[in-house]
Amino acid sequence: MTNRQQILAHRPVGMPTKDTWTLTETEVPELKDGEVLIRNQYVSLDPAMRGWMNDARSYIPPVQLGEVMRAGTVGEVIKANNHPTFKVGDVLSGWGGVQEYSITDGTNYYQVDTRLAPMPTYIGTLGMPGMTAYFGILEVGKIKEGDVVVVSGAAGAVGSIVGQIAKIKGCHVVGIAGGPDKCKYVVEELGFDACIDYKNESVAAGLKTHCPKGMDVYFDNVGGEILDHCLARLKMNARIVICGAISQYNNRENVQGPKNYLSLLVNRATMQGMVVFDYAPKYGEAALQMGQWMAAGKLKSREDIYEGIENFYETFTRLFTGEKKGKLVLKLV
Amino acid sequence: MTNRQQILAHRPVGMPTKDTWTLTETEVPELKDGEVLIRNQYVSLDPAMRGWMNDARSYIPPVQLGEVMRAGTVGEVIKANNHPTFKVGDVLSGWGGVQEYSITDGTNYYQVDTRLAPMPTYIGTLGMPGMTAYFGILEVGKIKEGDVVVVSGAAGAVGSIVGQIAKIKGCHVVGIAGGPDKCKYVVEELGFDACIDYKNESVAAGLKTHCPKGMDVYFDNVGGEILDHCLARLKMNARIVICGAISQYNNRENVQGPKNYLSLLVNRATMQGMVVFDYAPKYGEAALQMGQWMAAGKLKSREDIYEGIENFYETFTRLFTGEKKGKLVLKLV
C-alpha cells in the first residue's frame, strides 16, 4: 500500500515555491499494537503553516526538513490494531499532515460525527479556525453588546466566524477583505454591517465611514498597514486581538512593526496575542455552541475545496494570493 | 508685579530649539473673587511635555501657540481673594505652567505638606512620575512575587520608582539605562538586581545574561530598538506596560513600530497603554503608601534640580540627551 506525502524539502525565503516540497511515495508500514491507520480525506490549509516552516522558536516546533508537512486532517480509520478507543469506520480529526495515510496511537486525534456536520467542517468552523475565532473574539476580545468590532481577513476561515459571532452577540461589525466579491459575500451572506475592500478602497476612509466613533475591538489576521489604520481609530479601552499577520508571513525582510502602536497609550488600549491551543480543554463547549448556531442558521460555514495531493503547492498559495473564499481545504480522496 | 513666562512660539519638528519658546514678561493681574496667586517655586520637566506640543489628537489637548508652556508645578500661595480652601502660605501642587506666578481658582491643585517631604518630591515621587510608576507597575504590569521585571529609563523619574516598587514586591528587577554612572546608581543606590548600559553594551546580550528565561513584565519608557529587544525575550503571558516612548518623541519621520510585536502572539502576551490621569481618584492611597516606603528607607527619591526660568530650554533638552539623574526639576525661586 503506497502513501503519497508532501515532504518539506527546503525552507522558503519569502513565498514558498514549487520545490519547497517534494511529493514522495513510501510504503505504509505495519501497525504496531494500539495503532490505527487513517485514510486522510481532507487536509486543512492554514496561513499558520507558513510560520511552521521557519527555523525559529515559536509556539510550536518548526517542521523539519525531510518531514511530512504538518497539517490538520480529517479521515476514516481503515485499519486498527487493538486500539482501546478507535475502530475501523471511525472518522477522526487530528494532525495527519499532508499525506494520504497516517498512522497514530490516537494522541491529539478526536472522533467526529459526520451526521452532524460534513467532514470538511471539522477542519473549518468546528476545527482549529472556528476555535480560534470563538475564543479569540470572546475571551481575548471580550466583546459585549453594542461594541464596534472590526475584523480583517473577513471572508477567511477565521474572520468570517469572528464577525458572525460578534453579530450574534449584538455588535456592530465591519469586515475588511480583498475584492468586491468577498465584500459582497461578507455583507450579504454573513450579515456583517459593512465590509471595506482593501484592494480597491482606502481603508482609512472606510473605517472613518463605518466606525465614525472608532472601534472597541479589532481582530487582526493580517498585520501590516491595516493594523496601523485600525490602531489610528481605537476607542478608549479598546482591545486588539493579535491572531495572525498574513501580510507579513512571506516577508524577506523584517516584519513591519505597527508604527501607530502609541495609540495604545493614548487610548489605554490593549494588544494581546493568542494561540488557539491554549483553549483545548474547552473545544468541546465551543463546538457544541457553534454547532447549535449552525443548526439555527445563525452561523454559516463555507469551505473552498480543491482536489489532489499533487496540487498541494498551487492550492496552498491561494492562502496568500487571496484566491479563495472561506476555509481552504485540500481533498485527497 | 511682573510675571516671566515661557510661551510656546513654534511647534517643533524634531527636537525643540531655542526659539520654540519665547520668554516674555507680563503684569500679574488682579485676583478675582475666589482666586489665589501662587509663586511657582519648582517646575516639573517631563518627557510627556514634548507630546503636548504636537498639534495632534492625544490624551490631552495640545498646548496652543501663544500659550504658557504646560507643566506641573509646586509653589506657595502669596495672595488669596476669598478662596474657600486655600490661604496665604499654603503650598500647592498643580498645573502652574512654566511661569513665575499662576492664578487659579484651585481646580486641579492640591495642598502638599512640606514637613513630610520637600517641595520637589511633590512633582517627583509623590507627583505625576511617582503615580505613573505606582499604578503602571502594579495595576497594568500586575507584578507578583518572583516575577522578572525589566524597566527602561531605569535612572529616570518613573523608571527608578518602578524598579524599586518591583523590588519591594519581591521581583527580580533589571534596569536599562544610558551610561555607567546611571547603571551604577540604579544597582548600588536603588537596589536593582542588574542594569544594562544601552549606550555601551548590547541590550540583547544583557537581557540574555540577566533574564536567561525571559521576562514577565517589561515597563517601557523608551520605545524603539529597546522595545524590540524586550519583545524578543518575553515569557509566556508576559505583560508590556506602554508608558512612553522617549526615543521616538523627537522623530521627524514616523514612529518606529515594534517589528517583534508577533512575539505577543507566540507568548500570549499583552501590550497595554496607560495614562496616569485615569488613576486620579486613587492618588491619595498611592502617596500614602509611597510616603511610608520612603520613611522606611525602602524607596529613594532623587531630583536633579537646575535653576532659572531663563534656562528652561537648556534644562528641558536634558530629558532627551539623558544628561540628568532622577527627576528633572527647574527651580524658579
Tell me: the pLDDT tens digits for A240-297? 999 999 999 998 888 999 999 999 999 999 999 999 999 999 999 999 999 999 999 9
Instruction: Quote the CATH superfamily of domain B2-124+301-331.
Output: Medium-chain alcohol dehydrogenases, catalytic domain (3.90.180.10)
How do residues B271-306 score in pLDDT, each as one tens digit?
999 999 999 999 999 999 999 999 999 999 999 999
Q: Distance, in angstroms, between A278 CA and closest chain B CA? A: 9
- C-alpha angle A302-A308-A312 in degrees, rounded to nearest 5: 80
Structure confidence at residue A78 (pLDDT): 98
How do residues B222-237 score in pLDDT, each as one tens digit?
999 999 999 999 999 9
Any alpha helices (H) in A194-255, and if so which ranges?
Answer: 203-210, 224-231
Structure confidence at residue B325 (pLDDT): 86
Residues 240-299 of A with CB under 8 A from B: 242-245, 248, 254-275, 278
Look at residue A229 and tell me whether its pLDDT is greater than 90. yes
Does B267 sit within 8 Å of A270, measured CB to CB? no
> Rounded CA gap, A275 and A60, in Å?
10
Confidence class for position A215, pLDDT limits 50, 70, 90? very high
Q: Distance, in angstroms, between A55 CA and closest chain B CA? A: 14
Q: Which CATH class is domain A2-123+302-331?
A: alpha beta
Residues 188-227 of A with CB under 8 A from B: 223
Cell numbers found for residue A22: 517534494
Q: How many CB atoms lie within 10 A of CB B159?
A: 30
Residue with cell 539623558: B322
In one-letter notation, the amino acid at residue A20 is T
Q: Where are the domains of chain B?
A: 2-124+301-331, 128-277
Measured between CA atoms, the residue of chain B closest to residue A266 is B59
Q: Are B154 and B179 in contact (CB under 8 A)?
A: no
Integer Rg of chain A from CA: 20
Structure confidence at residue B254 (pLDDT): 86
Confidence class for position A13, pLDDT limits 50, 70, 90? very high
pTM for the predicted model, two decimal places:
0.93
* Topology given in CATH for the domain delimited by A128-277: Rossmann fold (3.40.50)
Q: How far is CA B65 from CA A5, B13, B19, B315, in A?
A: 69, 14, 12, 21
Structure confidence at residue A329 (pLDDT): 98
- C-alpha angle B315-B319-B323 in degrees, rounded to nearest 5: 75
Q: Return mean pLDDT, chain A.
A: 96
Look at residue A325 and tell me whether its pLDDT is greater than 90. no
Q: What is the ipTM of this complex?
A: 0.92
Choice between A158 and B333, residue whose per-residue pLDDT is larger: A158
Q: Where are the beta strands (DSSP E) in chain B?
A: 2-8, 21-27, 35-44, 73-81, 91-94, 101-104, 110-111, 148-152, 172-177, 194-197, 215-220, 234-242, 270-273, 303-307, 327-331
Q: How far is CA A221 from CA A162, A229, B156, B250, in A?
A: 11, 14, 37, 32
Q: Distance, in angstroms, between A305 CA and closest chain B CA? A: 29
Cell numbers found for residue B115: 514637613
Q: Out of A245, A264, A270, whose CB is closest to B262?
A: A245
Structure confidence at residue A253 (pLDDT): 84
How do residues B8-17 score in pLDDT, each as one tens digit?
999 999 999 9
